[in-house]
């Protein structure tokens, strides 16, 4: 069964490669809009939007071989702190605001994943969404440290304006839960979910 990752994230690609999954990348062009207000629902809805869009594009372009099933993986990550949901920063000032809120605090990182399985028919045979939540604690950060980190550019394109696997690791006091979930994809849980729908792994 072919596996398609509906994400341009290099971190998600690396995590899938790490666990030995052969896959193709096809980036979703869907608008990422959700009316959900809780972080778990936000990430599940947005991951579903991405997976559905890529599944539909494969059907439209007739890329699936007749009768051949394939699996599309959509994923989305946000950070939640004090009821606020942080996605990716839109500019350096936005990144500084996020990091100022998170410094010296606990917060939660949610990643939602959606699997769409089908053989190229209009609707997938299976659509299954789930999420993982990891609690992260930051050491206090001075204004100068925040500005220095933002200048590295590592905060770009990352939920909450930081990457735990990069330079910002120096400010992480601890985590409770799946580390890979914070990076962007809970691959342990994902593998177990994929096994339900794939005959060969």
pLDDT tens by residue, 155-172:
999 999 999 999 999 999
Q: What is the mean pLDDT of residues 139-154?
A: 96
Single pTM value for the model: 0.93
Q: Which of 74, 65, 75, 73 lies closest to 121, judged by CA? A: 65
Would residue 76 show up in a list of annotated catalytic residues for this protein?
Answer: yes
Q: Is residue 85 part of a domain?
A: yes
Which position has the token pair 């559905």?
52
Q: How far, in Å, CA of 131 to CA of 75, rounded?
A: 9
Let me know if residue 200 belongs to a domain: no
d(CA 39, CA 41): 5
Instruction: Find the CATH number of the domain harbouring 187.
Output: 3.90.950.10
Answer yes or no: is 201 within a domain: no
Q: Domain total for the chain?
A: 1
- The pLDDT tens digits of the residues spanning 106-136 come to 999 999 999 999 987 778 889 999 999 999 9
Q: Is 31 inside any structural domain?
A: yes
Residue 49 counted as domain residue? yes
CA 101 – CA 96 distance, rounded (Å): 9
Q: Distance (Å, rounded) from C-alpha 51 to C-alpha 71?
A: 9
Question: Which residue's entry shows tokens 């494969």?
Answer: 58
The one catalytic residue among 40, 76, 82, 157: 76
Let me know if residue 181 belongs to a domain. yes
**Domain boundaries, position 24:** 2-195
């Amino acid at each position: 069964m072919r596996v398609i990752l509906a994400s341009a994230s290099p971190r998600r690609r690396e995590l899938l490669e790490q666990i030995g999954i052969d896959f193709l990348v096809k980036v979703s062009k869907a608008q990422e809009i959700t009316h959900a207000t809780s972080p778990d629902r936000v990430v599940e809805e947005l991951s579903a939007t991405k997976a559905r869009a890529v599944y539909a594009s494969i059907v439209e372009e007739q890329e699936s071989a007749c009768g051949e099933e394939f699996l599309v993986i959509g994923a989305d990550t946000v950070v939640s702190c004090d009821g606020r949901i942080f996605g990716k920063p839109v500019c350096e000032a936005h990144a500084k605001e996020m990091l100022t809120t998170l410094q010296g605090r606990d917060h939660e990182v949610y990643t939602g994943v959606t699997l769409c399985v089908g053989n190229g028919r209009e609707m997938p045979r299976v659509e299954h969404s789930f999420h993982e939540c990891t609690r992260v604690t930051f050491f206090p950060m001075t204004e100068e440290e925040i500005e220095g980190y933002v200048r590295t550019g590592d905060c770009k394109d990352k939920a909450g304006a930081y990457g735990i696997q990069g330079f910002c690791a120096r400010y992480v006091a601890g985590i409770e839960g799946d580390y890979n979930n914070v990076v962007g994809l809970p691959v342990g849980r994902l593998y177990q979910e994929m096994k339900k729908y794939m005959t060969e792994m």
